[in-house]
Chains A and B, each alone.
Chain A
């Protein structure tokens, strides 16, 4: 997911990636910066990462998508190349009011990628098509 974020956010994810690789934790100054840039989303997103809620799905065709399990157990399918999440917060805060950059699920995707904590799962071409189209798969 590139080029949809301001430079400050991009840099922040890079810094988190670098320090997390070395120390396996995020130092306080970066946590403060994260909360400053993303507000209350930041804590919720870190919580999703802690719970290993972000999965990268891939199919034999090579198509990929992220799936995030929300607090209530609901699964949200997000794209790898641009910002969209089917959750109400994305529709309201980001799209309608234009007040936030990301919802907690999308931020969770960025953070789990930076921290190398994304789960991997293979699914069929047809199943990933269904998920991308906004449907739910049988499993």
Chain B
């Protein structure tokens, strides 16, 4: 099974009439960090959740600070087979602070959360909304960037360790659904505008360490409709496929409809 984002982009590109990549290497990456615009990122995360849930047996956990009001409009065009029963496979959590998020993630190993169905996809929307909040000190670990970096490392490590634990559980209970994957999104300080390539974001530098595979969304033009270039990097590690970076294009129309094209 290709990683969940590759799967989403392939499925969506296929639905919009384009042939899916025949030889686009499959990657065995278990965790992906989606870096880029928050609005579009969130739609992509939701599409990933729906796409996984539409496979029927995959339980998805979706962590976000802000309530989900509606499904992305593209859901029905991308995933025509989606049924209300599938939606029940997604469990939404709405933690308001990083401490709350950490408590929820840390308790996922408890039997109440692993049976009857063991989660096989964990999604965290907008890591920055938990990690980069002003004055949200709490658990110590230093001040300023150092505190943020430490918090980012703790959260990333906790997510990875939890996914590793759930993977072991899945391998024992339902091997076909292993491994448990991890998908998170991050956007550098929105106030700072486009990232300054000379000075990498200190939090992103820490996330890089824990998420070697990243999917970057970059604005590639468009006026009425937005065009985003999607770049999946770092997927070669540990796979037997020598895959080049994979690219797609997301076209977001003014009414929010997303179309995926393979490049």
Contacts and interface: CB of A to CB of B under 8 A. Distances in A.
Main secondary structure of the interface of B (DSSP, over half): helix
A84 B164 CA distance: 15
Interface of B: 99, 102-103, 105-107, 109-111, 114, 139, 141-142, 145-146, 149-150, 153-154, 156-158, 160-161, 164-165, 168-169, 202, 206, 209-210, 238
Nearest to B168: A62
A6 B175 CA distance: 30
Contacts of A80: 161
14 contacts: A65-B161, A81-B161, A81-B165, A86-B141, A90-B150, A91-B141, A92-B146, A95-B150, A95-B209, A125-B107, A128-B109, A129-B106, A132-B106, A133-B102
A72 interface: no
What band does the interface of chain A fall in when counting residues whose beta carbon is under 8 Å from B? 20 to 34
Contacts of A3: 238
B154 A95 contact: no
A47 B259 CA distance: 59
Contacts of A96: 145-146, 149, 202
Given A132-B161, A134-B102, A84 B153 contact: yes
A61 B146 contact: no
A135 B107 CA distance: 12
Contact of A86 (B106, B107, B150, B206): B150
A80 B165 CA distance: 10
B157 A83 contact: yes
Contacts of B146: 91-92, 95-96
Contacts of A13: none
A63 interface: yes
Nearest to A125: B110
Interface of A: 3, 59, 61-63, 65, 79-84, 86, 88, 90-92, 95-96, 125-126, 128-130, 132-135
Nearest to B102: A133
Contacts of B107: 125-126, 129, 133
Contact of A82 (B103, B114, B202, B210): B210
Nearest to B140: A86
A92 B105 CA distance: 25
B158 to A, nearest CB: 6
A83 B158 CA distance: 10
Contacts of A125: 107, 109-111
